[in-house]
Structure 1
Amino acid sequence: MDACKFRNISNWSVGITTAPRKQPTLCQTIASIKKAGWERLQVFAEPGVEIPEDFNDLIFVQRYERLGAFPNWYLSLTEMVLRDPKAEAYLLCQDDVLFSENTREYLEFKLWPAPEVGVVSIYCPSHYQQKITPEFIREDRGWRSWGALAYIFSNPSARSLLSDSAVLNHRDFGPADGLKHIDAVVGLWCERNQLPYFVHSPSLAQHIGDTSTIYPTASVRGHRKADQFLKKIR
């Protein structure tokens, strides 16, 4: 990266949500995100997740009862904002993701793609627009948004999302008892507030693992996998 260019952000808060899997991928995700440039990580674990001793430098938050994907995700983002209230960017990812090398440095120069953003997804599903030259693209799909693997929120957007009554009401009134559909909730929030939903293409994150903690019969194929994934971004 050109040292003469202006670094837009440097203060991050980074979290990983995790739940028990038949074939755990958390260690791969932690190693990959560290290689991508982030060292200070917070892990928000549903009951039954074991953290290897190799990663004793993590901030480890253990849930003592099963919350479900959306409640754990929402609570995790809330804790990140309260723990790091001055962070410029909040990256919250899932436990089955590989990241492009050098992603942090790249993003610190490239964020934000607009003066106001709803969310930036650095994971690009295979059925979204595919670019050869790395860039952010708008994918304003509302409830049909896809892929909450690696979301980045600005400080204002994180606070706005967490305080939105419709987002909170998803737990009470949403489908599947409000336990799923993180991406749909975020996409709809962007749509209602006329905020852009950005996706980076080619993808800077890749979905891994053969099982899903949310949809047990799903596999990492088709829409659930990035068509183009950069192993390293410059």
Structure 2
Amino acid sequence: MKSVSEFADSRAATDALLAILREGHLSPPAVARFLGRAAHRSLRQAANRPRALVELTVLHGLLLVLAAGRRPGRLWVATSWALAAAHLGLLERRERLTAADTLTLIRANLPALPCGASRWSGPLAITLDLADGPLARRHGTASPFGDYADTFADAAYWTWLALRHEPSRTVRAAAVAAWALPVVTVTGIALRRGAMPERPRPTLLRPAAAMQGIVALRHLIRR
């Protein structure tokens, strides 16, 4: 197996890391090697992009101030920072965050912010979601970082909103199926194949797109 350092491309590096788990049959030593090499690569990639790391830290510092005294609050924001900092290598040739990346990260942290529980948080999340993709494409700044951050922002925010504020068990179950289940499924496929699968396309045809409108509307008219 080729070493991770032989791959310049972020996807190839991720596939190389996943191959460690596949070839080791998810044994404890394989998991330990995977975590060690992943952590080493994350630290190296973050160090190679100091401007992006500073921008990421400043943004999450501001979010921490807004999240003070709330639940899940600061723990949610700190987790967001750690996950984003660990994946700065997905920026590939870029050395800084873009406006689209910032909108995506703000959307991911809505549950920790004062506006997160308001009845307008659903429409706000949809607006941010509709804005970040075209913004990235218009300025030619799309990257795997933004792509995967968008997926996990959706899964985090909408699953939280449904489980925290949706009274219908049916809608809650549908929300988990629409957002959490795809993440678990893709992760399972990646572990089995030892390589990252392609995301479902186009986005608007996925069940999650319709569920956003349903959950947001129910939350808006219920309060």
Q: TM-score if structure 2 supplies the norm length?
A: 0.32
Question: Normalized per residue, which structure has more helix?
Answer: 2
The higher relative CO (CA closer than 8 Å, separation ≥ 6) is in: 1
Q: TM-score if structure 1 supplies the norm length?
A: 0.31
